[in-house]
Amino acid sequence: MPMHESILSRRRWLQGASLLTAGVASSGWAQPGKTATPPRGIAVAQFVDFSQAQQDVSKDFLIGSRAAWQDINSRGGIRGRQVQHLAMETDGTAASLRTAMDSVQENASCVVLSGSVGDQLASQLAEMSRQGGFSIAHAAPWLQNSSLEVDDKTFPIFAARQEQIAYALKTLAVMGLKELGAIYASDREHDAYHFEVERIAAGMQLRLLSIKGAGDLSMLGQKLTPRTPAVLLFVGGTPELAQFTQGLEKQARQRYIVALADVNLQTMLQMGAARNTPVIATQPVPMVNASLPVVRNYRETLARLFDEPPTPLSLAGFIAARYTYEV
């Protein structure tokens, strides 16, 4: 997905200007009539969901953010001060998130939340912010639901699932596709996105067949009939997609899958996904081999600091940190 569509033009980059700088300045204000105290250090908190359903997404995203902050510190940090990058790991539960948030709020050096990941955790933080649960800015969260109401302290920059779906379907329609299957991994994905998928498909005059998963997605893949479209939009996570492709492998008809940004293709293959079923994943960031300056910087930094291959998700984490730093 083009960078200008997915990042720069999508949301409020300029509205977030001075977001981090303002936080840094306020932490060192002196009281009238008193000698100014030395400025405290700077801390940036990143909430990370390491539950089983999200760990494949969160791991890569966090690596990208760590690379960015280490690179920023190697170049002098913020106004000559080093940035402490706090990775607040949670298990996906509300209680775990609350405990992590309490720890952050007790840290007077923390000036911003940056790059919260995955989607459910980022959504919970956005709702907490809207309800007054914390007062600092929340920059570049991995929010995947554009219908979620956010306040003026939350600054999303990544294309949400609805936009990814629209982009994918428009691309397929341009290629002459006339019919499409939509596979939802569970009730949750179906309830959240089927109206949007149906609306977009109808607007592009695509015939749509919706299928909702329940339980073993491998069995669902095996049970597809000859009437099921050859191209399938999969709405779900990496483990579910890997399982689904295993069932498709036993079908005589070739299928093609379009997945969304929460899918980690490398992890999917490691989980035993069928290798004969083509999977194309949308992504709200540039291609990892692009020549854009931020992507070149990402590749060089990742190669220097981590023994990890470039991935769209770690690039997203890198961009989240750079966005937080630059504004």
- Indicate the number of domains in the chain: 2
What pLDDT was estimated at residue 143?
Answer: 92
* 70 and 155 belong to one structural domain: yes
- pLDDT value of position 39: 52
- Contact in structure between 282 and 304 (CB atoms under 8 Å): no
Residue 3 has pLDDT above 90, yes or no: no
pLDDT-based confidence at residue 255 (cuts at 50, 70, 90)? very high
Domain that holds residue 268: 161-281
How far CA 162 is from CA of 5, 289, 318, in Å, comes to 14, 25, 23
Q: Looking at the structure, tell me whether residues 52 and 188 fall in a common domain.
A: no
* Same domain for 257 and 177: yes
In whole angstroms, what is the distance from residue 326 CA to residue 279 CA?
Answer: 35
pLDDT at 30 over 60: no
Q: What is the DSSP string of 14-55?
A: GGGTTHHHHHHHHTTPPPTTSPPPPPPPEEEEEEEE-STTTH
Q: Quick one: how many helices (H) and strands (E) in the chain?
A: 12, 10
Per-residue pLDDT of 99-110, as tens digits, reads: 999 999 999 999
Nearest to 97 by CA among 128, 142, 131: 128
- Which residue reads 């956010």 in tokens? 150
pLDDT band at 148; cut points 50, 70, 90: confident
- The answer to whether residues 152 and 290 belong to one domain is yes
- Provide the CATH number for the domain around residue 199: 3.40.50.2300
Radius of gyration of the chain (CA): 21
String of b and e for 2-38 (b: at least 16 CB within 10 Å)? ebeebbeebbeeeebeebbeebbeebeeeeeeeeeee
Q: What is the pLDDT of residues 195-220, one digit of tens each?
A: 888 988 888 888 999 999 988 899 99
Q: Is the pLDDT of residue 244 over 90?
A: yes
pLDDT > 70? residue 146: yes
Q: Note whether 43 and 72 are same-domain residues.
A: yes
pLDDT digits 0-9 by tens, 39-91: 567 999 999 999 987 888 999 999 999 999 999 999 999 989 999 999 999 99
Residue 310: pLDDT band with limits 50, 70, 90: very high
Q: Would you state the structure tokens that stand for residue 123, as one six-digit string?
A: 């959504």
Residues 99 and 151 in one domain: yes
CA 139, 140, 142, 148 torsion: positive or negative?
Answer: positive
Rounded to whole angstroms, how far apart are CA atoms 146 and 209?
Answer: 24
The verdict on 217 and 272 lying in the same domain is yes
Mean pLDDT of 230-240: 92
Residue 259, classified by CB atoms within 10 Å of its CB into exposed (0-12), middle (13-18) or buried (19+), is buried
* C-alpha span between 40 and 83 (Å, rounded): 11
User: What is the residue-wise DSSP string for 65-106?
Assistant: HHHHHHHHHHTT-BTTB-EEEEEEEE-SSHHHHHHHHHHHHT
208, 243, 278 from 252: Cα distances, Å: 22, 17, 14
Q: Residues 167-194: pLDDT tens digits?
A: 888 888 888 889 999 999 999 889 888 9
Question: What does the DSSP assignment read for 207-254?
Answer: EEEEEE--S-HHHHHHH--TTS-SEEEEES-HHHHHHHHHHHTT-SS-
pLDDT for res 40: 60
pLDDT at 264: 84
Mean pLDDT throughout 224-252?
Answer: 92
Check whether 15 has a pLDDT greater than 80: no
Q: Exposed (0-12), middle (13-18) or buried (19+): which is 62, by Cβ within 10 Å?
A: buried
Q: Measured between alpha carbons, how far is 295 from 94 in angstroms, rounded to an integer?
A: 34
Q: Model-level pTM greater than 0.85?
A: no
**Is residue 85 domain-shared with residue 103, that is, in the same domain?**
yes
Based on the fold, state whether residues 294 and 277 are members of the same structural domain: no
Tell whether 42 and 85 lie within a shared domain.
Answer: yes
Q: Do 145 and 17 have their domain in common?
A: yes
Is 66 in the same domain as 187? no
